[in-house]
Structure formats: C-alpha cells, structure tokens
C-alpha cells in the first residue's frame, strides 16, 4: 500500500521523466540537471544557508493521505540553491508540523535533526517516529513481533543538541500530569527512557534547549531565554513570562510584571494587554515577536519594564512567516508572500530595524509547480 501511494503521489506531482529513480520527488524548479545533481548530493544546513520545508499531500491508492516533503537549503548571500532532499513519506505518517491538517502548530525546526537528515512525526499506529529525509524510510522502526505499549503521543520533536527524539503521551484520563519520553531515533524503542512528571523541571533547568524541547514535546512552542525565561503569547492575559517552577505544582511559574501591560493598570481597570506572538529570544532581555508584522521588545533585567519597542520591518500589508535568527544573532530571515502569490525568502539585520529587507530568493515550489505546497522556514545553518 505504501509503494502504491508513493507512486500515485509521484504521478500526481509530475513524476515519470522528472522524478528521481531513487523514489524521491521531482526535479529542481529552474535548475539545470548538473546543478540539480550537485544539490541532491550536497549536505543540507550548510553554514551560511537558510533551509525551508515544502509539504504537499495526495491520497494513496486506499484514499489515505500521503505526504511529500522537500527540504531545501538556500545560500543567504545570493539565494543559490545549495542542497535539496525530497521524499514521499510512509503511508499514514504525519510530520509534527508544516503539513496540512490539524496539529500542534510547532515551528518547523523542532521536527528536524540538526543536520536535517531526519524528520520527526507520528506514525500510522500513533507512535513517535523519525524518517530519513532522503528516502522517506522510517529510521529504527519497531520490531513488529515485540509486545509494547502504544503511548499515542501528540507530538515528536528533536533535541537540537543531543539529537534525542522527545515525545509525550495522550491517555484517555485527561488532567493527569504526564511524563515525557526520549530515545535515540536510530536505536528505536529499545533505547526509550521515561522522565516522570515530577522530574521534568529538573531536566528543564539544565539549559534552554532542553527546556524548550520538553515544552515542545507537550505541544508548547514557547521560546526560552538563555537564563530560562519562557515567553508565552497565548495566555488569557496576553503575553506571559514564566520561569521553570522547580518547587511548585506545575512546570512553570509566572513572573508578575507590569511590563506585560501596554499601560499600567488604573483603579477599576486591568490595563491594556501586551500582545506578542513570541518567535525567539535574542538574549535574556530581548524578545522577537510576530504581532504587527515583526517587532522586538526589550525588557529591564528584572522584567518589570519594557525599555524599548522596535518594529523590525517597514509598514506593510504583507504577512510574514515565523522568523529564524542567524547563528551570530545579528540578522534574521523570514518568508513573505507577494501580491502575485509568490513566496519569497528575505533577510534583515537587527542593527537597522525598520529598513527594507533584502530579497534572498523566490521559493519556487518543487515537483511540477503545484501551488498546494505549504512552506515553512526551518533554520539558519
């Protein structure tokens, strides 16, 4: 059934002469055959590149959804295509984010290994799994004859440093304080370890990467600062700031701060909520938000005041995607759609907030130019 679904997807997306003989999706839009071959051999996530994910869907022979995923790395300097991998994923395998259908809505970088060779998601039998981005084959699949418990996780994400695959569970008894699980994706279920709920804050206190990974495994995409401050934009009070609550009843403890109000509360008035869809922390006190295009908030060291608010882009009616920071923290990249429905990759510098961003590349859809691909930025290499 999986083979039939893959062949159907390839055919629907302009397969045949343009499709790879190794089962990958079709050729590179606008690229010569020699350059296309080089890009398919070059490693993804090279230094000086920004990587993006394209996802499309088609029904397989049984009417179930099959996902086709293409990952591309573009040179930030001139927009040249540096590397590409395309594959048809196993039947009834769903990536953690970036594809059609309901999901946790996590930023795309959580579901990829550091070198982008592995993609995390949920398999057909409701378990955490990882697939090879070059072949679409599952990595470390379970022994079909082994007995085991199905955790039915909501999300599967990669730890950006250790490469471990983290996930949660979704039992029928809602409200229970649930553990998290992690394992080596290449060694499969045999390497799975359990972190009880009571020990999660101890793990989260290790570093910001571990804290963010544990939150993401529970479908929380809140960014974490170097000192461990968590920014949430989906609280009932607007923007919320939290710290890991090592001695409390929950994972996070709210930081009470008048800075989270645009105007201070008056008698009989709760003030105006500070709205922010948090994207990432630049440092311990500077938070980049997606509310009103892109802007950044600078807090006082005690988080009791907002000392500066800056718009990072010029006034515009165009929407922007989730931005990704450069490794040195001086720049950021994002995607935006033009009036002609063309996705474009841009970069800009934090040193010149509000300046016109620099166009890096037009993100032509892979395969046959189908316009039903969802595009997500992954990270800046």
In a domain, 155, yes or no: yes
In a domain, 162, yes or no: yes
Q: Give the chain's domain count.
A: 1
Digit-coded pLDDT (tens) for 131-155? 999 999 999 988 877 777 778 898 9
> Does residue 231 or residue 37 have the better pLDDT?
231
Highest mean pLDDT, choosing among 152-166, 228-242, 261-275, 288-302: 152-166
Sign of CA dihedral 14, 17, 23, 27: negative
Task: Give the H/E segment covering residue 213.
Answer: helix 208-217
In a domain, 38, yes or no: no
Contact 253, 242 (CB under 8 A): yes
Digit-coded pLDDT (tens) for 3-17? 444 443 444 443 333
Residue 216 predicted with pLDDT over 60: yes
In a domain, 98, yes or no: yes
Q: Which domain holds residue 208?
A: 93-221
pLDDT of residue 34: 64
> Does residue 71 or residue 247 have the better pLDDT?
71
Residue 2 predicted with pLDDT over 50: no
Digit-coded pLDDT (tens) for 117-127? 999 999 977 89
Q: pLDDT above 90 covers what percent of the chain?
A: 60
Residue 95 predicted with pLDDT over 90: yes
Query: Residue 49's closest CA among 86, 77, 85?
Result: 77
> Does residue 352 or residue 175 have the better pLDDT?
352
In a domain, 188, yes or no: yes
Strands (DSSP E) along 101-228, which ranges? 118-122, 128-132, 156-158, 165-167, 180-183, 193-195
In a domain, 10, yes or no: no
Q: Is 188 helix (H, G, I), strand (E, B) or coil?
A: helix
In a domain, 148, yes or no: yes
CA dist 98 to 30, 53, 122, 371, Å? Answer: 24, 8, 13, 15
CA distance 323 to 333: 6
Q: Which residues contact 138 (CB under 8 A, 6 or more apart)?
A: 90, 93, 123, 129, 130, 131, 132
In a domain, 198, yes or no: yes
């Amino acid at each position: 059934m999986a083979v039939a679904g893959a062949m159907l997807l390839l055919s629907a997306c302009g397969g045949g002469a343009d499709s790879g003989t190794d089962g990958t999706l079709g050729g590179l839009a606008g690229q010569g055959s020699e350059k296309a071959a080089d890009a398919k051999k070059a490693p993804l996530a090279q230094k000086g590149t920004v990587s993006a994910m394209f996802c499309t869907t088609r029904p397989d022979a049984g009417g179930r959804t099959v996902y086709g995923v293409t990952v591309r790395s573009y040179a930030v300097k001139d927009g040249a295509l540096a590397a590409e991998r395309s594959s048809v994923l196993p039947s009834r395998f769903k990536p953690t984010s970036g594809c059609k259908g309901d999901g946790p809505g996590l930023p795309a970088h959580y579901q990829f290994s550091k070198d982008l060779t592995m993609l995390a998601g949920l398999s057909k039998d409701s378990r955490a799994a990882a697939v090879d981005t070059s072949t679409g084959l599952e990595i470390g699949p379970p022994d079909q004859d082994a007995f085991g418990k199905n955790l039915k996780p909501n999300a599967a994400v990669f730890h950006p440093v250790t490469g471990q695959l983290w996930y949660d569970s979704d039992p029928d008894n809602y409200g229970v304080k649930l553990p998290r699980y992690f394992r080596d994706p290449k060694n499969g279920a045999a390497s799975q370890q359990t972190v009880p709920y009571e020990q999660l804050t101890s793990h989260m206190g290790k570093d910001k990467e571990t804290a963010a990974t544990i939150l993401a495994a529970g479908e929380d995409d809140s960014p974490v600062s170097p000192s461990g401050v968590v920014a949430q934009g989906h609280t009932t009070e607007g923007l919320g700031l939290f710290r890991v609550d090592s001695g409390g009843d929950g994972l996070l403890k709210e930081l009470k701060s008048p800075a989270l109000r645009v105007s201070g509360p008056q008698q009989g008035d709760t003030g105006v909520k500070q709205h922010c869809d948090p994207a990432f922390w630049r440092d311990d006190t500077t938070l980049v938000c997606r509310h009103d295009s892109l802007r950044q908030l600078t807090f006082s060291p005690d988080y009791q005041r907002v000392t500066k608010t800056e718009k990072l882009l010029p006034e515009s009616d165009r929407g922007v995607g989730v931005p990704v920071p450069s490794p040195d923290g001086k720049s950021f990249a994002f995607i935006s759609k033009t009036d002609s429905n063309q996705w474009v990759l841009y970069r800009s510098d934090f040193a010149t907030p509000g300046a016109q961003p620099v166009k890096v590349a037009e993100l032509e859809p892979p395969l046959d130019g189908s316009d039903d691909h969802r595009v997500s930025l992954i990270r800046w290499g």
